[in-house]
Amino acid sequence: MDDGSCKAPDGSDQWGALGKWTILSLVTVLGFLPMTIILLGPKLVFHVGGTLGYYLRKKTAGRKAQILELVEADEKEYAAKGESRRDSDDWENVESYATGTANNGEKADREWDGIVGFFHPFCNAGGGGERVLWAAIRATQKRWPNAKCVVYTGDHDADKAAILGRVKNSFNIHLHPPTVTFLYLTTRSWVLASSWPHFTLLGQSIGSLVMAWDAFSLLPPDIFVDTMGYAFALGFSKILFQDVPTGAYVHYPTISTDMLSSLDPKSATGSQGVNAGKGAGAGGAVKKIYWKLFAKLYSFVGASIDVVMTNSSWTQQHINSIWGSWRRELKKPSATVLFPPVAVEELEKEVEVSEASEQQREKALLYIAQFRPEKNHKLILAAFAEFMATKSPATKGAKLVLVGSVRDDGDSKRVYELRLLVNELQVKDSVEFHLDASWPEILDWLRRASIGVNGMWNEHFGIGVVEYQAAGLISVVHNSGGPKRDIVTTIDGEPTGFHATTSAEFAAGFEQALALPDKLAMRLRARRSAKRFTEEEFAKGWTMQMEKLVILRRLRHP
């Protein structure tokens, strides 16, 4: 049986690789595309784009037919083995969760069998963004069993079986293999930050246009969905294929009003984030102008997307702030919050929260986060040192446990610097580092720890904080972003954790959390709070939004 990953006739891992000069030409043209639209007028641009789109469809017609034949053959072979969609994953019939109807009352029927293209060039990365992708595909498969899900990826080192195997093992998400196809991009390097040492935001956006052309050269889909934040790719799709509905799941805006204001050291956010205060001086003035111009382009592109979902109310606010005026002009709906799926049910099974389990809890403050600069480990270490210096009863036996992955030499250097800081702060005996911990090790700490910590400013959502809550930890989190607005909120008027901004506030939060007379009551509230972020809730929300795209497709192709 074919593995579903399309290969070139010569056996290479892609079809139709773009030549060097083709790429250079595309970069030049696509880099000036937004300005071209403004200067030459939408009608001319859409006419030229439509012609190119027609050419791409004619060029890829044979490949589309072959993919459909492979899907049909795989379905027959799958059935011949006696396997079914219900095997091991409770493949219930998912009815419409949505009221999604067109103006004429038309509904998205269950028999729709089109191609949904998922633009996710790093689909095998294994992070929270990838969980969203696979949960979205599973929900789509359940709602529309005959639909074909095509994933545009740059993971050439993994075939279909390896990728789906990792999805099953890492996320416990079981997909129906025959209707999942992988198309391999050859241009993923164009969106790496390392490829654009200067003007990174613009460079990566141009790179996403090159990647989008690469994807459409392989197969234009019936519905095009981006789950990584490449808004420019969705805008480009609209120019090439005006009849293709587009959807975006935005984890965080490419640029936000908070980012812009953080450049000014005198602003309220001028001391926050990795770009804090960088708007000073002549170089800073240029950076401000560049970011403001980029924000204008970003808003222009975002206005073209048919359906926009965001992972949190914080992201929604910023997306509506940047894209809102243009979207209202085009009568597009505002962004909808759809919380990402978190393994809440798994944690509820693995981690007990009861009177008995309280005896196993230690005075451990757990911070699970990659050792990236924006995670602000230094703030948490400073706060912990302040807390320990009080020598209150709550500090006796307390320790800070830092658990996180190390991606590269940069991360390794940061860990080394943090270890030096621990010595300087004189809390070496009370701080533990656990690098690249396995999931069983993380589960063990979630059972043992008492407090969950998050120090990142404007964390766009905070999957790790939801995991804290699902495991019954009392959270002490940064007073911003998703952890503040969506996760560590009240239940029945009672708190589920604490918020802080400065090291002194975090230290006070640690004291309050560890000194609580009835920790179990707050742990149980936190676990109840986490139920809002289950995979089932995500599937319901995703289906509602996908129905809108299916309806648009059917209206344009009766």
- What backbone phi and psi angles, to 5 degrees, belong to 510? -60, -45
Task: Please state, in angstroms and rounded to a whole number, the distance separating the CA atoms of residues 135 and 171.
Answer: 9
Task: Please state, in angstroms and rounded to a whole number, the distance separating the CA atoms of residues 380 and 401.
Answer: 11
The DSSP code for 101 is B
Could you tell me the pTM of the whole model? 0.82
Decide if 23-83+116-251 and 344-533 have a common fold: yes
- Count CB neighbours of 339 within 10 A: 23
| Sheet-wide strand order for 474-478 | 431-435, 399-404, 364-368, 451-454, 474-478, 497-500
Domain ranges of the chain: 23-83+116-251, 344-533
pLDDT value of position 194:
87
- Which candidate, 336, 349, 339, places its Cα nearest to that of 545? 336
The set of residues, in sequence order, having a beta carbon less than 8 Å from that of 213 and lying 6+ positions away, is 18, 26, 30, 236
| Domain made up of 344-533: CATH architecture | 3-Layer(aba) Sandwich (3.40)
| Domain made up of 23-83+116-251: CATH architecture | 3-Layer(aba) Sandwich (3.40)
Task: Please state, in angstroms and rounded to a whole number, the distance separating the CA atoms of residues 367 and 399.
Answer: 11
225's enclosing H/E stretch is: strand 223-226
- Count CB neighbours of 80 within 10 A: 8
pLDDT value of position 34:
57
- What backbone phi and psi angles, to 5 degrees, belong to 328? -65, -40
Residues lower than pLDDT 70 in the chain: 1-42, 83-108, 264-280
205's enclosing H/E stretch is: helix 200-218
Task: Please state, in angstroms and rounded to a whole number, the distance separating the CA atoms of residues 380 and 427.
Answer: 12
pLDDT value of position 200:
87
300's enclosing H/E stretch is: helix 281-302
How many residues in total does the chain contain?
558
Task: Please state, in angstroms and rounded to a whole number, the distance separating the CA atoms of residues 110 and 168.
Answer: 25
